[in-house]
Each structure stands twice: as C-alpha cells, then as structure tokens.
Amino acid sequence: MAMISSLLIANRGEIARRIIRTAKRLGIRTIAVYSDADADMPFVREADEAVHIGPAAARESYLVQSKILEAAKATNAAAIHPGYGFLSENASFAEAVQAAGIVWVGAPPSAIRAMGQKDAAKELMIKAGVPVTPGYVGDNQEPAHLHAEAGKIGYPVLIKAVAGGGGKGMRKVEASGEFIDALASCQREAAASFGDERVLIEKYITGPRHIEVQVFGDTHGNAVHLFERDCSLQRRHQKVIEEAPAPGMDEATRAALCAVAVKAALAINYVGAGTIEFIADASEGLRADRIWFMEMNTRLQVEHPVTEAITGQDLVEWQLRVASGEKIPLRQDQLSINGWAMEARLYAENPATGFLPSIGPLDRLRFPAGIRIDSGVEEGGEVTPFYDPMIAKIITHAPTRPAAAAKLAAACAALEVWPVKTNAGFLARTAANADFIAASIDTGFIERHSEKLVAGTEPSAPVLQAAAHALLPVGSTDPWSALTGLRIAAAPDTRIAVDIAGSTHVVTLEGKTPAYTTAGDVLFIQGEAWEYGLASADHAAGGAAASDGAILSPMPGRIIAVHAAEGDVVKKGQRLLVLEAMKMEQQLLAPFDGVVKTFTAKLDAQIAEGVLLALIEKEA
C-alpha cells in the first residue's frame, strides 16, 4: 500500500508538533485542529492546514468527536492520529473514524476495549499466560467480600478503580481495620472520575519499580518489542523522569520480560504502538519471577522519545507506516540498545507550594542546546489554565547512565523560564541526586528525598552569591562606581545588599560563584528564576532601613558628616551619617536600638547608589 497522503492530528501542543515533524518528513500533508485558546500556538502554524473546532474547554473542542470528524471530512484527511490523551484510547471514536472511511493511526478498537478495563485486562492476560500481580479481580463488589479477599492477599494491599488511571481511584491500605473506609473513599472517587465505582485489589509491592515495555504490532500478524523503560520516578502516581533501558536489568530478565510483553500484544491482535506496564518487586534486584503485568496503554506514550533515542527509530514513522498497511519496519533481531536515555517533564508548576500549577505568559523561555527538546510552546506564548501544564520534555542520550543523568541535570539547571514558575530546579536536583545516580530508585524515591529536592521560598547561598556578583559592574576597576564599600587605606568592604524574593540580604562576596545568567532584573540559576536588584533606597532614606539593619545609600552622592563608628550603641532614629546628593542632604538614621556592627562610611567619600554604609544589630 502507498503511504497515507494526509493526516489530521486530533491533539494539540507538544505531541501535535511531534507528529507534524515526522509526517512532513515523509511528505504527508498535515492538518491541525485547535480551540480558541490555541489559535496562536506553534502547532497551528506548523501544520499545512488548521481547523478551528471550538472554545478553550477540551470538552467543547478536542473531546467532541463530531467536530474532529467534520474537520477531517472538510479537509479530505486520509487519516487521523489521536496522539495521547483526549480521544486516543476511545474505542467508539476509533470506530467512528474507520466507519467514515478514514485511516485510524492507533490501536484497533477491540484492543482498546480489551485493555480499557483493568479487571478484564488482567483476566485476559491470565488466560494468555502473562503473570499478573497477586490480587482479586471479580464481579462480587460487596464490601464484606472485598474485605475478605484483601485478608487472603495479605496487607498492605492496593485498592484500584477498574476504570482508573493517573492515580485516581487508588488507595493503599496498611491494615484490616482501615479497609472499609478506604474502600468507600476509593469508590466515591472512582464514580466521580470514571462513572464506574468497581474496584480490584492487588498486593501492595514494597519498594516497587514501574517498568514498561514498548511493543509494536502490524496488520500482518507480526509483533516486536523495542525494549523496556523505567518510569519509577513518580510524584503522586504521575511520572517525573523516565529512562531507557531500566537500570539493573540483566539480559536474561530483559529477554523474559520483553517476550511476555510481545505475548500480551499478540493475545489481543495488537496493531500499532502500545505499552505493556509492569510492577516489579525490586527488593532483591530485578528478577523475572517478581515482575507482574499491571496494565496496557493502547497508544503512544509521553515518554516514547527515550525508546527512540536508544533504538534509533522514529516511532511515529512506524505508526504511520503500519497504519498505511506496511509491515513493521524491522525484525526483532534487527533491534538493539545503544547507550542510555532519560526524559524529564518540565511543568509549569511551583514545587515550593506543593506543585500547584503556574499559569501566565512565557516572557522568557530558553532551552539548552545540544539535546532533544519536545515542546508545545515558545517564548512569547502563554501557559493557559485549560490543558495539561507541561511546557516541554527534556531528553538526553549518552553512552552510559551516569553520563545521561549528568546531561539531564545540567540541561534542567540551564533552563530559563519567566515569569511562570517551573519544576526545573526540582528536576535538576533529582537528576543530580547521589541515590538516583546510583540507581537506588523505586516509586517512593521522590517522597523520601523531597526535602532535598524541593527548594524553599528563600534564596540559597549560591543564589545570593550569584545575585551579588551579577550586580557588580562588569570589568569595572573604578572604586567610585563599585557597589561594595570603599575604605580609604583599608581593605575594601566586600558586601552588597541585594533585594531578592521580596526581602533584603547583605551578601559577602566570595571569589567563586555558580553558573548563572540574567535577563533584565531576573536571575536564572540551577533551574530557578529570581527577581533581584540592589536594595531599594527605602531601606535607608528618611530613617527607613532594611529590616535586617542594613543601611544603604539611597542614591549616588558624597558623605558630608559622620556621627557613628563601629561598636557604638545607638537608639532608634539616631543620626548615623549625612549624605549630600543632588544638592540635598539625606540623613540616614538607625532603624532600631542596637549596636553598629559594621560602619563603612568615610567622610568626603563618593559613593554609588545601593552601597552598604552601616549594619546595625539589634540588642540581645
């Protein structure tokens, strides 16, 4: 068969751009659909055609099947690619696409249905000889029966909604006495999220690893795997960093696991890209007899770039070729692993406030060079409240795992995003964490290390050093314009009062400072962004001073009177010195009762704005 001639992408943002990129390389005409909120998004411009499908809310645009089909018919689209999310695993939509005579670039509707319900999927896998997590899957949903089954399995157990996903409708139960309340809570959440309150029960695995296998099938009865990924680094059941291959996976275990994944795909006559997800008890290392089937995702995964990196294959191209009726591009013996790849999900969220989403304009959005970036937005764009807040996927590839981790940490640390808050610093610290580098990981890794991974709201010492150094005039040797204090016939004062994060900090300059960049009044360092500047004149002029006792020059001028010295005991409002500037005199006063810890002001000295002139310590 000939390659499909035109393709409508029933999705948005990063995955739409990703699909467009490959389709154009293959000479396929691309068609985007977009909502009101996405009219100016890059994917709309990059497609050959674009069709408006409604308001910003997904339920009124991207999730309306009739609008997608109407757009496809109006543009004579030969095929529809659903991407991931939205309608990608909707069997009725897939059937409607096929009924309209349009090629569906996705899993067969029968496979979507077979894998869509966790309980039915597990029963099917058991029949196919695929090992599943010990547990209960059944029609009897009476609380007493479920409670009894949990007792047979042994605590702790995990209650999971059969129609669940994304961590919704899931509860861990430590003891029998907690089961009934946890079950009721899980059922309520499942009913609200999925319209189905049925649950299954699984043995809770201590120290679990989340490992998944990329599978691919075609319409000629062939199926292969493209090896495994490790997605254990999660926060509230949401993946944060993925990698391929899985650390600690020996060849024998890999062969057994991947063979099982292919068996699962063949059992449902699978076509296209899919992922078989497993849970592993890695308490004694990865072993084939301690890895169990969890679920199948019947679509392309967000983390597919790491598989592409280690195999050298374009999975979207494979999808399009298979959808066009071709056989899988390579045999199993032609596929091999090359090096190590990692992917971090850059989100518009604020780790310091419990990872709450952050929306707004992207006045600055700069990515490091030399690595793969899959992003749906660009500088000058906006993060809206209507969709998933992922800004980009940061993907690194290197010969070894430590090298891939180092590249990922450096890349995340070099990200520049403003004014939207992001998790870049959190990602950089995670990738640089010693336990992560040592592959001492499981799904509880982030929770255990949260204190080290999540920065506080106050700037760290490296941030303060970078801000102080950034305020120094580049290459200046003129003592009159320096921002540090000048002492005649004495060593220079190396302190600068910096306004950052809403407060003033007196920073003693050190010779070495971490890498940073600036843009206007924003400092970018270690993946974080900070608004900074010289301490304002309000901290000194007219008797006002920084709450920490720093007395700063409100403007450039000459010191015409000195009324204090280091070691003096002073009272609030007591005159310390007088500055002449713009033919006016400014009296600088003590902000509170205390002791003059530092006094750098010299009679007749010319000073610049923002220079620290005195530091008062409160009396004990």
Overall size of the chain counted in residues? 620
Q: 187-194: which pairs have CB atoms within 8 A and are 24 or more residues apart? A: 187/161, 189/161, 190/161, 190/162, 190/163, 190/164, 193/161, 193/164, 193/168, 193/169, 194/161, 194/163, 194/164, 194/168, 194/169
Cα(487)–Cα(493) distance, rounded to whole angstroms?
7
Whether the bond into 134 is cis, omega within 30 of 0:
no
User: How far, in Å, CA of 466 to CA of 524, rounded?
Assistant: 9
Neighbours of 54 (CB within 10 A): 17
Locate tokens 């109006």: which residue? 74
Residues belonging to the active site: 299
Output DSSP code: residue 38. Answer: G
Alpha carbon 307 to its chain's center: 18
Single out the residue of 16, 577, 84 nearest to residue 299, CA to CA: 84
Print burial letters for 442-475: b (CB count within 10 Å at least 16), e (below 16): bbebbeebeeebbbeeebeebbbbbbbbbbeeee
Question: How many beta carbons lie within 10 A of that of residue 123, not counting itself?
Answer: 14
Run of H or E residues at 479: none
Query: In angstroms, what CA-CA distances link 153 with 118, 148, 164, 249, 327?
Result: 18, 9, 21, 28, 43
Strand order, beta sheet including 157-165: 135-136, 199-203, 157-165, 168-173
